[in-house]
Amino acid sequence: MKQFLLTSSLLVLFNFADGQDYRWQQRVEYTMNVKLNTETHKIDGTQKLVYYNNSPDTLTKVYYHLYFNAFQPGSMMDVRSRNLPDPDARVKDRIFKLKEDEIGYQHILSLKQDGKVVNHIVNGTILEVTLARPMLPRTKSTFEMTFESQVPIQIRRSGRNNKEGISYSMTQWYPKMAEYDFQGWHAYQYVAREFHAVWGNFDVKITIDPKFIVAGTGRLQNPNEIGHGYEKTGTSTKKTSEKITWHFTAKDVIDFAWAADPDYTHDVKLVPNGPELHFFYQKNEKTAVTWKTMEEVAIQVFQHLNNNFGKYPFDTYSVIQGGDGGMEYPMCTLILGEGSQAGLNGVMAHEVGHSWYQMTLASNESLNAWMDEGFADFASDEAIHTILNEPINHAGSYTSYFNLANSGLQEPAGQHSDHFNTNRAYSTAAYSIGAVFLQQLKYLMGEEAFYKGMKRYYNTWKMRHPEPNDFLRVMEKESGLQLHWYYRYWIQTTKRIDYGIGNIIEKEGNTIVDLERISEFPMPIDLVITYKDGGKEIYYIPTNEMMGKKLTEDKSLKRTDLAAWPWVNPNYAIRINRRLAEIESLEIDPSLRMADINRKNNKIVISEIKPFMETTH
């Protein structure tokens, strides 16, 4: 007993030391019972929600998301899409053209808090509820709701009859409690991007025409009753009644998504040491071969991510044909299924990556999309290239960043996702600049510390809502370096990195190289010198803001550590104890991990230039 107490208090201390224990988070327990009428596309639902106010605040209001309301002419999503210079091709003016029986809506028929009727008003995609009784700190309330929804024609993420003929993509489909945290309410109108939600448990019963197969978040509780290839014993007791009810439960998730189609083929594969993978798709000439191949790739993606970024915390995952591209949800994804093999593998891998960066590390996607899309892109890209035995260099992300930076459209990546001026600036910021943030962090920290840090981040913050500072603090502790300056420059500004090699002279038998910081963004420098005799060495210059240096990455290369480069200084001179005639070339960051906007001035081959010679004797 004593030992137990000692151990647990040490654990608390350890957690506190890693920064996670100071932050409370709300909790939800949903029990939903919904009936989908597949002729009218309407849902009748009941929702019992036990909401835990773990905050130190007394709440007088709560807010729910009503996402389906976005699919109505004149909604904020519609107006935004019609006013963007580069609207999403899937949305454009399609919402504006929806007819009455094609729109989406969520009508709240009744709502009670602990048995008392509450006042509520609908404002676009947000339901504002004035509580019957304020919720004191660390208390819970039970909200009981009845609602009626119409499933819209598939426009974005959710809806009926997607372009590949999947009947129902049921995502962002139920009244969902908005997140309240140390920053207050995150009850954003659904304009384009959305993910931030309360952690909790779901118990969902879906009643539907028995010809449909349902796939979704969580684990099916009644496979024998359902049949449809779910039964393990082979003694299916599938009902022949008019409707059947699918019962799913999921623990410690931030959402619940599902899809239904009469023609799903269902395959099951096992990742060694878990999880169990489920695949649901319409088998036809476009999918029959590609999905079987993709299933094998999915196993390897899970293995790679488990080994390098932390262990997947759930026991199942489903890849479901549906939606309009690829969208991540807890324990499942909805993706289009009829594309090329490489496209299918890539989308699957990206969405699986979100099981780490969003479904386990639930950063606020609206505020910090780069921590969600960028990190998922980074991890899945590493998995795919490892499987293909290709170099891991994230070259595509760098190219996309350089193109945006040179277009004049770049905006700081750290702004709210919905508020970028163009979809292009958003998507490059979220995906590419987010992925480059990590690849460049390898350059700053060294690869070994980087991967250790990624796992430590995962284990420290899983099932929480990490913020940029939380990630940075873990990486700082792992590397012994200060890194907030890097985050501020890379994520909060559009400042660029541009270093170059300037004058080279020989003086008293030494070679003096002048390095130039041409743009504002300070970075540490790896300068690799290649000699004519085939030898190589590296000169390493940290920035003063790092307050330290990375560990040696390539032990086969002699490294000379130089004094820190103060960020205010535009130039830095290096003295190499060799004659100029002995040097073949000099190169800043041959690993290409530093996102230098102009790489032309990063390498000098001595024979190709006429050095500025100043020989004193």
Give the Å distances, CA to CA, from 55 to 22, 118, 128, 381, 456.
Answer: 12, 21, 19, 38, 26
69 versus 158: smaller Cβ distance to Zn ion: 158
417 versus 511: smaller Cβ distance to Zn ion: 417
Q: Angle between the 484-492 and 434-445 helix axes, to the nearest 10 degrees?
A: 150
194 versus 373: smaller Cβ distance to Zn ion: 373
Q: Please give the structure tokens belonging to residue 527.
A: 């300068």
Name the one residue in this structure whose structure tokens are 């890693």: 18
* Min separation Cβ 386 and Zn ion, Å: 19
* Min separation Cβ 378 and Zn ion, Å: 11
* Min separation Cβ 328 and Zn ion, Å: 6
352 versus 523: smaller Cβ distance to Zn ion: 352
Residues contributing to the site for Zn ion (CB under 5 A): 373
434 versus 524: smaller Cβ distance to Zn ion: 434
* Min separation Cβ 256 and Zn ion, Å: 18
Name the one residue in this structure whose structure tokens are 């284990």: 459
Name the one residue in this structure whose structure tokens are 């038998």: 509
78 versus 373: smaller Cβ distance to Zn ion: 373
Q: How many CA atoms lie within 13 A of 165 on its CB side?
A: 8
* Min separation Cβ 157 and Zn ion, Å: 12
Closest-by-Cβ residue to Zn ion is 373
SS3 for 564-594 is CECCCCCEEEEEECCCHHHEEEEEECCCCCC
* Min separation Cβ 351 and Zn ion, Å: 7
Report the C-alpha gap between 614 and 541 in whole angstroms: 25
DSSP string, 34-91: EEEETTTTEEEEEEEEEEEE-SSS-EEEEEEE-GGGGSSTTSHHHHHHHHSSS--TTT
* Min separation Cβ 286 and Zn ion, Å: 23
378 versus 521: smaller Cβ distance to Zn ion: 378
Give Dmax (Cα) for the chain.
101
Residue-level length of the chain: 617
51 versus 357: smaller Cβ distance to Zn ion: 357
Q: How many CA atoms lie within 13 A of 344 on its CB side?
A: 25
* Min separation Cβ 307 and Zn ion, Å: 21
Q: Which residues contact 617 (CB under 8 A, 6 or more apart)?
A: 508
